[in-house]
């Protein structure tokens, strides 16, 4: 079930808030649950050093034989052992724009309703997004009514695997291109090297993404990309994406009112 929107359309006041803070609300659909978080893009040399360190994860087992993430993401393997890797030399040499999310202690905070997200931001600076200069202003001005996501910032990750399994003719370029976009962003922000590598330049999933973008652009290169894309196995692509989405799911901390009681009963944790 999709999360309820904070409003039918953005007001001039909410547009002003997001434009002046250079932050955007993001809506994520991840299998059994949906909700909202925040994302900003900043130059890497303006962030604390620990915010641009990416840690890889090594899984003891592949998730290829597990259930579809859209159905049971919690059933995927959770035995990940983090190793340290430092990309600071590369980033220091060439500062670049990087994503910063509402993350905390390696978890992405996603709120099931706009009210819970607005309340959390207004009351807490215990998260990685708080390092941006505009966070204090955001705390003063954020409201539930302002949390209305543009279509470009709404990601239906729960539809990706099924769409890929439908065959090349059924593939939806916008859905898959947007999934790759947010996947790369989350891999970096969560410091999850396995997600980063799965979507990095030259990887099979990146090749699919590049071909889809060429198809959308059209022309001769688009026609060539379409022929090349047909050589990609639908099932292999679905398996690879299922693994990425499983890792994202394991890195989400759900908060908010929807299903809160059942979540607290099983986890023993309560939202701050």
For residue 247, tell me if it sits in a domain: yes
Can you give the residue range of the structural domain that contains 128? Answer: 12-257
Sign for the pseudo-dihedral over CA of 217, 219, 224, 230: positive
Model confidence over 84-100: pLDDT tens digits? 444 444 455 578 999 99
Confidence of residue 258 (pLDDT cuts 50, 70, 90): low
Model confidence over 22-33: pLDDT tens digits? 999 999 999 889
Confidence of residue 4 (pLDDT cuts 50, 70, 90): very low
Considering its fold, how many domains does the chain have in total? Answer: 1
For residue 238, tell me if it sits in a domain: yes
For residue 112, tell me if it sits in a domain: yes
**CB-based contacts of 23, cutoff 8 Å, min separation 6:** 38, 39, 40, 129, 132, 134, 138
For residue 128, tell me if it sits in a domain: yes
| Alpha-carbon span 149 to 147, nearest angstrom | 6
């Amino acid at each position: 079930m999709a999360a309820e929107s904070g409003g039918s359309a953005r007001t001039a006041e909410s547009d002003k808030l997001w434009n002046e803070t250079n932050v955007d609300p993001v809506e994520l659909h991840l299998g059994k649950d949906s909700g909202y978080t925040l994302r900003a893009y900043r130059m890497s040399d303006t962030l604390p050093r620990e915010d641009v360190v990416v840690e890889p994860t090594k899984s003891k087992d592949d998730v290829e034989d597990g259930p579809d993430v859209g159905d049971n993401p919690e059933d995927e393997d959770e035995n990940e052992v983090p190793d340290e890797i430092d990309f600071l030399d590369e980033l220091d040499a060439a500062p670049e724009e990087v994503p910063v999310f509402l993350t905390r202690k390696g978890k992405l905070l996603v709120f099931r309703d706009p009210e819970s997200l607005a309340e959390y931001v207004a009351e807490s600076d215990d998260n990685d997004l708080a390092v941006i200069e505009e966070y204090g202003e955001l705390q003063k001005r954020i409201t539930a009514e302002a949390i209305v996501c543009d279509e470009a910032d709404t990601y239906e990750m729960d539809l990706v695997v099924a769409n890929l399994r439908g065959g090349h003719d059924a593939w939806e370029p916008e859905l898959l291109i947007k999934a790759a976009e947010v996947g790369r962003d989350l891999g970096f922000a969560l410091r999850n090297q396995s997600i980063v590598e799965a979507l990095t330049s030259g990887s099979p999933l990146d090749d699919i993404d590049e071909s889809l973008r060429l198809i959308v652009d059209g022309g001769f290169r688009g026609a060539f990309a379409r022929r090349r894309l047909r050589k990609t196995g639908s099932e292999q692509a679905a398996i690879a994406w299922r693994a990425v989405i499983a890792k994202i799911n394991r890195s989400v901390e759900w908060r908010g009112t929807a299903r809160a009681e059942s979540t607290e009963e099983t986890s023993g944790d309560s939202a701050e």
